[in-house]
């Protein structure tokens, strides 16, 4: 018989996870469309009543985004400019209703190649905190999302938080998404850029691209190329030879691989140019 659990402590939730076969449910904005039915199948562990999993907090080490923090919570949070890209991504996730219900942790756990939360969190050096009855472990986001709809979660574990280190709180940032229309659209390509500038030169760069590979990618080669360049000509240095090797776009109904690659390069150029304007 299917059951619905809605505990109000993390300890109770972990007990349920260990003893029952359940699906973890947060905002359900991915779970419900996937069922195409009026009810979710199987037993459900609803984690939205656990106060300790809510909200966005600044800690001594950085920032902690609770597992049930919604996109609306992120958009409203008082965060430094390095997080502008995450808030900009949030404003483009679905509609206001979806942003109110949907969680950023759910976006990561769903592990869609087009998940808009992944590139900004990669560019913020985010880690994912996983908790089970046996303890807590933290994985860099790049090791948490491991394939299309695949994560490193093991049975008995849930995501309890997303953490961002103090070192990633520096610089200006931008998120740009290309879809077939402006809102309520799945990304054809999206980019997140965080940069800092010193003496008119790029001092640090974190750049990630989504929807152009099974899992969104940081562009290490491009980041290395940009560091030390004068801000004036930086967009010209963003070329296919240092972008394309990190990407493996697919052809689908939204765009072919070549279009996605060109779009990613153009979006990075625009996002970098705007981030440079913000810090100059
Ligand atoms: C109309 C519409 C428009 C959308 N537009 C966008 C968009 O523009 N961009 C975008 O990226 N997404 C979009 N989405 C997808 C969705 O809204 C987001 O991915 C959202 O962030 C998912 O969060 P959720 O809390 O609703 O997840 P849920 O549906 O509750 O869960 C999603 C998955 O994560 C698991 N899960 C959730 N929380 C945890 C946890 N703490 N620990 C372990 N597993 C967990 C669930 O078991 C499930 O497998 C859209 C969806 C709809 C319906």
For the chain, list the domains and their CATH numbers. Answer: 51-167 (3.30.465.10), 171-279 (3.30.390.50)
Ligand 1 pocket test, candidate residues 106, 157, 163, most atoms within 8 A of CB = 106
CA–centroid distance, 101 to ligand 1, in Å, is 9
Q: pLDDT below 50 — which residues of the chain?
A: none
Residue of 153, 44, 27, 141 whose CA lies nearest to 90: 27
Nearest CA to ligand 1 atom 51: 29
Q: How many whole angstroms separate alpha carbon 182 and alpha carbon 209?
A: 19
Q: What is the DSSP letter of 21?
A: -
Q: How many whole angstroms separate alpha carbon 260 and alpha carbon 50?
A: 40
Q: Tokens 């093991």 identify what position?
A: 154
Q: How many whole angstroms separate alpha carbon 196 and alpha carbon 203?
A: 5
Do the beta carbons of residue 245 and residue 275 sit within 8 Å?
no
For residue 98, which atom of ligand 1 is closest to its CA?
17
pLDDT of residue 120: 98
CA–centroid distance, 113 to ligand 1, in Å, is 13
100-148: pLDDT as tens digits: 999 999 999 999 999 999 999 999 999 999 999 999 999 999 999 999 9
Residue 102, exposed/middle/buried by CB under 10 A (0-12, 13-18, 19+)? buried
Do the beta carbons of residue 20 and residue 5 sit within 8 Å?
yes
95-111: pLDDT as tens digits: 999 999 999 999 999 99
Do the beta carbons of residue 55 and residue 73 sit within 8 Å?
yes
- CB contact set of 277 (below 8 Å; sequence gap of 6+): none
CA–centroid distance, 27 to ligand 1, in Å, is 7
- CB contact set of 253 (below 8 Å; sequence gap of 6+): none
pLDDT of residue 279: 85
Q: How many whole angstroms separate alpha carbon 75 and alpha carbon 91?
A: 7
Nearest CA to ligand 1 atom 43: 158
Q: How many whole angstroms separate alpha carbon 47 and alpha carbon 36?
A: 22
CA–centroid distance, 277 to ligand 1, in Å, is 33
Q: How many whole angstroms separate alpha carbon 241 and alpha carbon 221?
A: 9
Q: For the residues of 68-108, what is the DSSP string, one character each?
A: T-BHHHHHHS---GGGHHHHHHHHTSS-HHHHHH-BHHHHH
Q: How many whole angstroms separate alpha carbon 152 and alpha carbon 130?
A: 9
38-60: pLDDT as tens digits: 889 999 999 999 999 999 999 99
- Which residues, judged by CB distance below 6 Å to any ligand atom, belong to the binding site of ligand 1? 23-31, 33, 47, 67, 92-94, 98, 101-103, 105-107, 109-110, 115-116, 153, 158-159, 184
* pTM assigned to the model: 0.97
Do the beta carbons of residue 64 and residue 95 sit within 8 Å?
no
pLDDT of residue 69: 98
Do the beta carbons of residue 192 and residue 122 sit within 8 Å?
yes
């Amino acid at each position: 018989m299917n059951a619905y659990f809605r505990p109000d402590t993390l300890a109770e939730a972990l007990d349920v996870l260990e003893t029952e076969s359940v699906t973890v449910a947060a905002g359900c904005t991915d779970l419900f469309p996937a069922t195409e039915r009026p009810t979710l199948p199987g037993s459900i562990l609803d984690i939205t009543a656990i106060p300790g999993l809510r909200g966005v907090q600044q800690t001594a080490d950085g920032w902690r985004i609770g597992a049930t923090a919604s996109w609306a919570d992120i958009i409203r949070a008082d965060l430094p400019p390095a997080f502008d890209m995450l808030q900009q991504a949030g404003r483009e996730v679905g509609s206001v209703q979806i942003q109110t219900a949907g969680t950023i942790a759910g976006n990561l756990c769903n592990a869609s190649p087009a998940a808009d939360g992944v590139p900004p969190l990669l560019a913020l050096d985010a880690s994912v905190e996983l908790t089970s009855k046996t303890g807590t472990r933290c994985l860099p986001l790049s090791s948490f999302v491991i394939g299309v709809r695949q994560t490193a979660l093991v049975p008995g574990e849930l995501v309890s938080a997303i953490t961002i280190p103090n070192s990633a709180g520096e610089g200006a940032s931008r998120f740009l998404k290309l879809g077939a229309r402006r809102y309520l659209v799945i990304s054809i390509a999206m980019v997140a850029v965080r940069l800092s500038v010193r003496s008119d030169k790029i001092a640090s760069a974190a750049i990630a691209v989504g929807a152009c590979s099974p899992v969104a990618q940081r562009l290490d080669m491009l980041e290395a190329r940009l560091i030390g360049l004068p801000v004036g000509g930086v967009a010209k240095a963003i070329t296919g030879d240092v972008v394309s090797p990190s990407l493996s776009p697919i052809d689908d109904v939204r765009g072919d691989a070549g279009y996605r690659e060109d779009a990613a390069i153009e979006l990075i150029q625009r996002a970098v140019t705007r981030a440079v304007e913000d810090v100059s």
